[in-house]
Amino acid sequence: MTDVTFIGLGIMGAPMAANLIRAGYRVTAYDVDTARVERVVELGGAAAASVPGAVAGAEVVITMLPDSPQVEEVAFGDDGLLNHGAAGMFHLDMSTIKPETACRVAQAATIKGIRPLDAPVSGGERGAADGTLSIMVGGHPDDFEAIRPLLAVLGTTVRHVGPSGSGQIVKAANQLVVGGIYGLVAEAIVLLEASGVDPEGGLDVLAGGLAGSRVLELRRHSMIKREFVPGFRVDLHHKDMGIAVAAARRAGVSLPLTGMVAELMAAAKAQGHGSLDHSALLKVIERING
C-alpha cells in the first residue's frame, strides 16, 4: 500500500504526513487550511480540494482531527469518506476522540467494506516530527498487521490493544497519566522555588531517578523558564480529560486523581491558557499559591 490520503495537517498531522512522504509513500493531503496543504505539496505530496477528491483512489485514508465532531463530519457527511471510499480501503483514524465515536465510525465503515482502525498517538509534536510516536491501535488484528509497516514509519512503539475503540481507551489512560505528571511537576517547581532551592538542579536530580519521565526529560527546562509554546494545547488536553472521566463513568470505576487533574486542566482553560502548551498547568498551581 503506497497511496495514502492524509486529512488534518495540524501540529501533529503535518509532520506525520511529511514522514510518510520521506519514506516513499504517495501522499495526498487535505485540510480546511489550504496553506497547510501547500506546505505538504512543497515536500512532495499532492493536494486535494475536498474530502471526496482526497479519498478517490486511496488505499489508506488517515484522519488526524481535533475532536469527535470533526471525525464524524469527515466520516459520515454527504461528502464524507464513507460515501466516497472504495471497498477494501483502510480508514486509519489517528485523532483522539470518544471511544463510542470510534466504535460508531468503525461499524459504519465495516458495513461499507472499509477496514477501520482507531490509532491515536502519544509523543507530542516532537514525537510526530521524529517518527517516534507511541501508537495504540484498536480494530481487527488482521487489519493491524496489514497496516503495521506504515505505522512503523510514524512511531517506534506500535501495539494492537483490542477491538475497535480500544485504542481510544488506551489514549484516555495515557492522557490522565500525562496530565497528572504535568500537575506534579508543576507542584515540584513551586515547592522548590518557594523553599529557595534551584529548580534546575532539583529537577535534574528528579529526572535521573525513579521520578524520571518523558515529561521531565522534554519539558522541565521550558517550564522553569515559563515558556509554554504549544506542542499540545491545554484546550485539547481539557477535551481529553473529559473523555477519560466519561470512560471511567461508563466502566463504573472511580478515578479520583483523574478527576482532580481534569479540574486543574479545566481551570487552565478557564483562566485563558487554552492556547498554551499543557505544561501551563504550572500557571494554575502558581495562581493557587498566590
Residues with active-site annotation: 171
- Helices and strands per DSSP (H, E), number in the chain: 14, 9
Q: Shortest CA distance to 55 belongs to which of 25, 87, 23, 24?
A: 87
Q: What is the CA radius of gyration of the chain?
A: 20
Q: With beta carbons less than 8 A apart as the criterion, state whether 176 and 255 touch.
A: yes
Contact 153, 121 (CB under 8 A): no
246 Cβ contact list (under 8 Å, min separation 6): 98
Phi/psi at 208 (nearest 5 deg)?
-95, 0
C-alpha cell at 259: 478527576
Burial of 146 (0-12, 13-18, 19+ CB in 10 A): middle
Q: Is 230 left (phi over 0), alpha (psi -120 to 50) or beta?
A: beta
